[in-house]
Amino acid sequence: MRIEGDVSFSYEFNPMELAVDTHDVYKRLIEICELESTEEKSEEDVTRLEELRRIKGYIGGYELDYHIEGFDFVKFGERDEIQLLAFLSPIREQDRSRQLFGNGDVYSIFKYQFEDRGKEKGKFELKVHEIDDSGDEFVTEDYFYTLHPIVASIWEPYKIERVKKVLEDNPERELIDLS
């Protein structure tokens, strides 16, 4: 799979690294956008969001559980298709209910990685430094996440309309149009 920006970057993915059902990822992300737009989220909604973020992936024929850490919908050129950019990471035992990336962050990090370290292939590592000064003692901790970039073109008309509709209903998210 290959993704290219007008002049700024091009990146090639090795299909042996991580295989996922991109249609399933698309459906999950549409539902996540719909649930995100709900102002008052019930406990069921929060549980459903976490379920939607868990997905099966395959590396070298082995099935593994992954977590969708963040995603953006991007259009690189006027005649280009909408691209789905998502970061997945292997599920770890610790609490994963928080979202690592805000809206627009996935694209920014994706582009930064190309400019800064364009020769790396297949996965990135994210370091999250947390500080807790709420108690009697000051605690800091680093978490490292292995991120696998997923890129899928959304070219089917019904999928494009669904993306536009869900983005219209969710003012927190937008189609990043770089044309």
pLDDT range class, residue 147, cuts 50, 70, 90: confident
Q: Are 126 and 105 in contact (CB under 8 A)?
A: no
Q: Is 74 helix (H, G, I), strand (E, B) or coil?
A: strand
Q: pLDDT digit string (tens) for 10-22?
A: 444 444 567 888 8
Residue 104: the pLDDT is 76
Burial of residue 73 (CB within 10 Å: 0-12, 13-18, 19+) is buried
Residue 52: the pLDDT is 93
* Predicted TM-score (pTM) above 0.75: no
Q: pLDDT digit string (tens) for 153-163?
A: 898 999 999 99
Q: Are 90 and 66 in contact (CB under 8 A)?
A: yes
Q: pLDDT digit string (tens) for 71-130?
A: 999 887 777 789 898 888 887 655 555 567 777 778 777 766 655 554 445 566 677 777
Residue 24: the pLDDT is 92
Residue 98: the pLDDT is 58
The Cα–Cα gap between 77 and 43 comes to 40
Q: Which residues pair with 67 in a beta bridge?
A: 54, 89
Q: pLDDT digit string (tens) for 48-66?
A: 998 999 999 887 778 888 8
Residue 38: the pLDDT is 83
User: H or E segment at 20?
Assistant: none
Instruction: Give the count of alpha carbons within 13 A of 127, CB side only.
Output: 4
Would you say residue 3 has pLDDT above 60?
no
Of 70 and 105, the structure prediction assigns the larger pLDDT to 70
Average pLDDT, rounded, for the chain: 77
